[in-house]
Amino acid sequence: MPTAAFTTLGCKVNQYETQKILERFEALGFDIVPFDVPADVYVINTCSVTQSAEAKSRQTVRRAARQNPNAVVVMTGCYAQFTLRRGETLDEAHLVVPNPDKMRTADYLLEHFPHFKAQLAQKRHNTETPIRRRSRAVLKIQDGCNVYCSFCSIPYTRPVMRSTPYTEVLDEARAMVQDGYRELVLTGVLIGDYGPETGSGGPDLAELCALLGEIDGLERIRISSIEPTLVTDRLIDLIATHPKMCPHLHIPLQSGDTGVLQAMNRPYDQAFYLDLIRRLRARIPNCAISTDIMVGFPGEDEAAFQNTCFVVEQVEFCRAHLFRYSPRPDTPAETMRQQVPDPVKAERMQRLQHISKAAAQRYAARMLGTVERVLVETRSKLSGLMTGTSDRYLQVEFAAPNSLVGQIIPVRLVDLTPDGVLGELTTA
Ligand code: SF4
């Protein structure tokens, strides 16, 4: 029977969409295999957020073609869309599915490679069989962005603002819980914009979370990434009071310098961001904050960079994704003067990595001695210990049997590890 393998580059929205594309292949009768083994079809959901993401997208396509030279390699996602727009081709990609059509990837494949239809016809496939893949499912509830940050191309590729009707969100969430998922990660391009004006059918984000919280069997709800200006007091209150809401928010900072933020067309300044974190932590003790930070945006001088370092020191993000700025075609920042030289960006990245790692360790150290609910995920090949993610997004390692995979259990945090925390099972 034909086999298909999938991989994703980039954001949680892409992860969710890969999951949906995969489910369609599965329903058609493809056997799903890991990406690092020979498959008949490889689907790569690409990303173009930075030049490095584009390079990784190309490398992944080439790697797939090398793994099985007879395979059909399918490329979709933002980088795929850029190649179509620029009229570029990648020899190893046999099929490029436009980003807006990515949910129809399987149909594109069958149209262009009809021999798969015949192979699938031989296979009697039971689409009812639930397959449990992971313990945490990503649930996309919103699409589109109209913020137009000056470095970002997403508003050009996803300009239509759309909230998934809440009844559909609830149905999908219930189905995911039935499939065995314990945690749902809500995602969207501009998730804080979720609401009736763009099609939710009534609730805003906080109200939707409250409705999701009523689903039996769902144990945790996490919000994947939300813009600072869209974190409402009602959302903060809900996270503070609802036992299923993770005390964790991913709030992109991008820069800690007010001038750079203005040049980025980000609608807040350093003081606003720090005040938001202060309000969050006043209401939600030890609320975990993760973030994205862009280093080397045009005009970022040493003083501006120091302002970013200052915010990182102050906030003590539990995790910070650091990106080196690279010009995206057709964005305002592409033609800005005062581009930062690559060696300067590289040196600042290194410094910020050290600072953010130390700050994350200080945050984790403050949590030692407490008990966190940990979703048990997999066994570490390196340490042999079980690993999982805590409510506060800490990566925890602890001794536990395989039978606990997929469960959410209390773990006492006892020590720091290079990348997270060591814990021990407890009944508390
Ligand atoms: S908020 Fe800014 S960075 Fe995020 S998708 Fe919209 S334009 Fe891009």
Closest ligand 1 atom to Cα of 266: 2
What pLDDT digit, counting tens, does each position of 53-82 carry?
899 999 999 999 998 899 999 999 999 988
Residue nearest (by alpha carbon) to ligand 1 atom 2: 149
What pLDDT digit, counting tens, does each position of 208-219 carry?
999 999 999 999
> CA quadruple 414, 419, 425, 428: dihedral positive or negative?
positive
CB of 193 shorter than 6 A to ligand 1: no
pLDDT, position 76: 95
* Cα distance between the two ends of the chain: 48
Confidence of residue 267 (pLDDT cuts 50, 70, 90): very high
Report the C-alpha gap between 377 and 134 in whole angstroms.
8
What pLDDT digit, counting tens, does each position of 293-331 carry?
999 999 999 999 999 999 999 999 999 999 999 888 889
pLDDT, position 134: 57
Spell out the domains of the chain, with CATH numbers in brackets.
Answer: 3-121 (3.40.50.12160), 132-250 (3.30.750.210), 281-367 (3.30.750.200), 369-425 (2.40.50.140)
Closest ligand 1 atom to Cα of 155: 7
Mean pLDDT of 365-374: 96
Q: Which residues contact 46 (CB under 8 A, 6 or more apart)?
A: 9, 10, 53, 54, 57, 60, 61, 75, 76, 77, 78, 79, 80
Average pLDDT taken over every residue of the chain: 91
Q: What's the 307 CA to ligand 1 centre distance in angstroms? A: 21
ipTM of the complex: 0.97
β-bridge pairing 95-96 and 3-8: unpaired
